[in-house]
A and B are shown apart, each in its own frame.
Chain A
Amino acid sequence: MSSTSASIPVESFEKRVSDLPHQGTSKLSPEEQVARAKAVIVSKLDSRSAMELETCIHCGMCSEACHFYEATQDAKYTPIHKVHLVRSVYRRELSPLRWFNRLFIREITAEELSEWQELLFNSCTECGRCDLICPMGIQITSGIRLGRQALAAADLMPPELRALNDEQTRENTLLGVGTDELHEAVRELDSQGIVVPLDRPKADVMLLTTVSDLLLYRQSFAAIARILDKLGLAWTIRSEAFEASNFGLLSGSEDSQMLMAKRVTDAARACGAKLVIVPECGHAYPALRFNAAEQLDQPLPFEVMAISEFLGREIKAGRLKVKKLDGSKKVTYHDPCKLGRHGGVFEEPRDALGALGIDLHEMESHGTTQYCCGGGGGVMMLAASEELRRRTFDIKMRQVEDSGADSVVTSCDTCRMTFERGAKLVNWNRPVESLAELVAANLAD
């Protein structure tokens, strides 16, 4: 399992998470909440969402793709139901037939906004599996995203996410982890003989890391550093913008999301990087690879790759050589939702595993259709989601067991944490490993 000889104790991450506020109410009046939520939905709704919201036929099939519904059989977790308030506002305020719709559809209320906090945050990881099954082709995830933004504007984010978003926006730290902690980690790696070039004025590659790497999975950070060093790349990590996690995105605050992305893109421009590598973090990848450019409506002047994507590419191109293991290791690969379904990173991690000679046992739902671990989208931070996460993890355990694999490899800290937490609760004996660490541990000389 995970262990580190860092001076920050390993329980620190979990403790800092559990120290986050778990209660909180909106500071806005009910009228103000409704007004702001509506304003967000009305102003941000785009063409694709509009057409999609006109097209739902209430077939309910989306429920059967959602791990939260599958684990609980509770109808309220039906994905399109989670989007109900967004759809109501659209139909009343923006639909071409809004005058007709208003005869049938009520105004949303502040009570409903509060009620929907659970549905939009606690019981949705924005995993996108529902987007695959909808016979109409509706991307329900877009509606979820907008719903979160609406609740955020109404000051109805879950308290944990509000706290983290505030901290990251104002202090540029997360769970108290900032530049100092980065430097401390770099010093520690240096003492192990791993060189992390800090704040180079000019570099080809800029690496990011995460609070979870620095606090919990420092070996992942170390592994990536070793690999980049092995490849002989001119790389750096920048003190002013090293954090890949984007709690603006996770909390529904689009302004903060853009700010956090801008910090990274500014730093990349400042050092002239041609490639920015996102570490083993899920949401950080699409946030930077796609959302950053889309929000500014300007292409990025550099490439963005997830580390698993980068490793696969380098190995396949022959630039990174790994040892072939004896093939006795029966492993299944868990595709993190935000890297896979939202990022298109499927082949590269498997190329890396193939080169390592791993005996890959795919789960029944793998690649595009794989089941979410149950912790993404900020859900793993929420105390109120604990029971839900426990129940949805049963699905994942069964998938792994049915595949015949002995262990799980993945490339996202949240997935890794969720697996470890879940396994610990029920004494599940299948370990989870990091792809980066696996590769770094088996570099050919």
Chain B
Amino acid sequence: MKAMTLLDLVRGPLFFWALMIMIAGILWRLSGLIFFRLQSRAAKPKDDAPIVAGLRTVALRSVPPHELEKNITFQHFTGYAWHIGWFATFLFLGAHLSLIKSILGFAWPALPNGVIMVLAAMTLGILLTLWIRRWYNPVLRLISNFDDHLSVVLTILPLFTGITAFTHWAPFGTRYETMLAIHILSVELLMVWMPFGKIFHVVTSLIVRFRTGAAFSRRGVKA
């Protein structure tokens, strides 16, 4: 019996297991947090609308006051720009929407391929720049660890391999199906790593913002 080709592997059992590991991992890490003690609410709050405050922080923490972010504007803007580009590429490319539709049962209109290519290229450029910066900026060099570097590599690879597959660039005698397989494999690596490293912030960041906004509001502070 001939061995499964790489493409068959990544479109078959590897994707299945990557998805299962990702789902189990996310829920493991999230469920494990429910047993921690909640802070006391015995102190009389200064504000009586913590939910509104929480939602406000979820939205507005992305746009901090200018006097606060003016020293870090480059990172602040490029950070959001690449997130937008990455998710736009993932969620609005026609080929991806076929996959999403097969899993969710529904999808939404795609953006033109050319637009996606521009966004993907921009995102890739920003990510590479920020990764290089992580190596030489003193603050980032001090606080960065293996997880940070692995996470950014696993975030870059689907973009890079996606662009090469999409443009049907097949160097060194590779064939299109190899490039496509490598792209899908890179996504699977990202999926498997996602619950275990810092990319997990996708799940908790909005919850944390909400809780912080609510906590600040109890003290009468809009943050």
- Listed in ascending order, the chain A residues whose CB lies under 8 Å from chain B are 45-52, 54-61, 63-65, 69-70, 73, 75-76, 78, 80-81, 84, 94-97, 100, 104, 129, 131-139, 286, 289-300, 340-346, 364-365, 368-369
B104 interface contact, C-beta 8 A: no
- Chain B residues, Cβ within 8 Å of A137: 57-58, 61, 205, 208-213
19 A–B pairs (Cβ distance < 8 Å), ordered by A: A50-B36, A51-B211, A54-B200, A57-B198, A58-B143, A58-B145, A60-B140, A60-B143, A61-B72, A65-B68, A70-B71, A78-B143, A95-B29, A96-B28, A96-B33, A100-B196, A104-B145, A136-B201, A368-B65
CB distance from B148 to the nearest CB of A (A): 5
Central interface residue in A52, A96, A290, by most chain B CB within 10 Å: A96
Q: Are B221 and A295 in contact (CB under 8 A)?
A: no
> Which residues in window 141-189 of B have CB below 8 A to A?
141-148
Q: Give 1 or 0 for each of B107-143: 1 = CB within 8 Å of chain A CB.
A: 0000000000000000000000000000001111111
Q: In the bound complex, do residue A76 and residue B142 qualify as a contact, i.e. CB atoms below 8 Å apart? A: yes
Q: Are B143 and A80 in contact (CB under 8 A)?
A: yes
Expressed in whole angstroms, the Cα–Cα distance for A60 and B147 within the complex equals 15
Q: Measured between alpha carbons, how far is A76 from B201 in the docked complex, in Å?
A: 24
Known: A49-B36, A75-B141; 17 extra A-B contacts, CB below 8 A, are A47-B37, A48-B211, A58-B148, A60-B75, A63-B139, A64-B69, A73-B138, A78-B142, A132-B223, A133-B64, A137-B58, A137-B210, A286-B219, A293-B44, A294-B40, A365-B67, A369-B67
A56 / chain B contacts, CB cutoff of 8 Å: 198, 201
Given contacts A59-B75, A286-B219, are A96 and B40 in contact (CB under 8 A)?
Answer: no
The A-B contact count (CB < 8 A) is 185
Q: A293-B42, A297-B42 are in contact. Are A55 and B219 (CB under 8 A)?
A: no
Chain A residues within an 8 Å CB radius of B40: 293-295, 297
Rounded to whole angstroms, the CA-CA distance of A80 and B145 in the bound complex is 13
Residue of A nearest to B147 (CB): A104
Contact indicator A64/B33 (Cβ below 8 Å): no
| Whole-angstrom CA separation of A364 from B40 in the bound complex | 35
In the complex the two chains form, is B36's CB within 8 Å of A45's CB? Answer: yes
Interface residues of B in 37-94 (CB under 8 A from A): 37-44, 46-47, 57-58, 61-62, 64-65, 67-69, 71-72, 75-76, 79
Least CB distance, B41 to chain A, in whole angstroms: 8
Are the C-beta atoms of B143 and A81 separated by less than 8 Å?
A: yes
Closest chain A residue to B219, Cβ basis: A344
Question: For the complex, is B32 an interface residue (Cβ under 8 Å from A)?
Answer: yes
| Residues on the B chain within 8 Å of A104, using CB | 145-147
Q: Which residues of A contact B46 (CB under 8 A)?
A: 344
Question: Quick check: B141 and A97 within 8 Å, CB to CB?
Answer: no
User: What's the Cα separation between A292 and B43 when bound, in Å?
Assistant: 8
**Are A51 and B207 within 8 A (Cβ)?**
yes
Q: Whole-angstrom distance between the alpha carbons of A73 and B142 in the complex?
A: 13
* Chain A neighbourhood of B143, CB < 8 A: 58, 60, 75, 78, 80-81, 84
Asked if A75 and B44 sit within 8 Å, CB to CB, the answer is: no
**Residue B102 at the A interface, CB < 8 A?**
no
Bound CA span A390–B54, Å: 37
Is residue B222 contacting chain A, with contact meaning CB distance below 8 A?
yes
Chain A residues, Cβ within 8 Å of B44: 293, 299-300
A45 CB contacts on chain B under 8 angstroms: 36
Complex CA–CA separation, A65 to B42 (angstroms): 31
Q: State how many angstroms separate the Cβ of B40 from the closest Cβ of chain A.
A: 4
* Pair B219/A46 contact, Cβ less than 8 Å: no
Taking CB atoms, residues of chain A closer than 8 Å to B32 are 95-97
Rounded to whole Å, the gap between the CB of B1 and the closest CB of chain A is: 36
Please list the residues of chain B having a beta carbon within 8 angstroms of any beta carbon in chain A: 28-34, 36-44, 46-47, 57-58, 61-62, 64-65, 67-69, 71-72, 75-76, 79, 137-148, 195-196, 198, 200-201, 204-205, 207-213, 215-216, 218-223
How distant is the Cα of A345 from the Cα of B46 in the complex, in angstroms? Answer: 10
User: Across the interface, which residues of A come within 8 angstroms of B148, CB to CB?
Assistant: 58
Neighbouring B residues of A64 by C-beta, 8 Å: 69, 71-72
Closest Cβ of chain A to B81, distance in Å, is 13
Given known contacts A46-B36, A51-B208, A76-B142, is B62 in contact with A97 (CB within 8 Å)?
A: no
- With beta carbons under 8 angstroms apart, the residue of A96, A135, A369 that contacts B65 is A369
On whether the beta carbons of A139 and B212 are closer than 8 Å, the reply is yes
Residues of chain A lying within 8 A (CB to CB) of residue B36: 45-47, 49-51, 94
A300 to B223, CA, bound (A): 26
Residues from chain B with a CB closer than 8 A to the CB of A299 are 42-44
Alpha-carbon distance A69/B58, docked complex (angstroms): 27
A6 vs B1: C-alpha distance when bound (angstroms): 99
A47-B38, A343-B220, A344-B220 known; A138 vs B71 contact (CB < 8 Å): no
User: In the complex, what's the smallest C-beta–C-beta distance from B75 to chain A, in angstroms?
Assistant: 7
A154-B220 Cα distance, complex, nearest whole Å:
34
Across the interface, name the chain A residue whose C-beta is closest to B208.
Answer: A137
How many Å lie between the Cα of A345 and that of B43 in the bound state?
16
User: Is there contact, CB below 8 Å, between B201 and A57?
Assistant: yes
User: Do B215 and A139 touch (CB < 8 A)?
Assistant: yes
Q: Which chain B residue shows the least CB distance to A77?
A: B139
Across-interface contacts of A100 in B (CB, < 8 A): 196
Q: B22 to nearest A CB, angstroms?
A: 14
Q: How far is the CA of A300 from the CA of B44 in the complex (A)?
A: 8
Of the residues B30, B31, B61, B144, contact of A135 by C-beta under 8 Å = B61
Q: How far is the CA of A139 from the CA of B145 in the complex (A)?
A: 21
Residues of A within 8 A of B140 (CB): 58, 60
- Complex CA–CA separation, A73 to B137 (angstroms): 11
Q: Contact check, A75 vs B215: say whether CB atoms are below 8 A apart.
A: no
> Given contacts A54-B200, A61-B75, is CB(A132)–CB(B68) below 8 Å?
yes
The distance from the CB of A63 to the nearest CB of chain B, in whole angstroms, is 5
Report A-chain residues with C-beta under 8 Å of the C-beta of B39: 46-48, 294
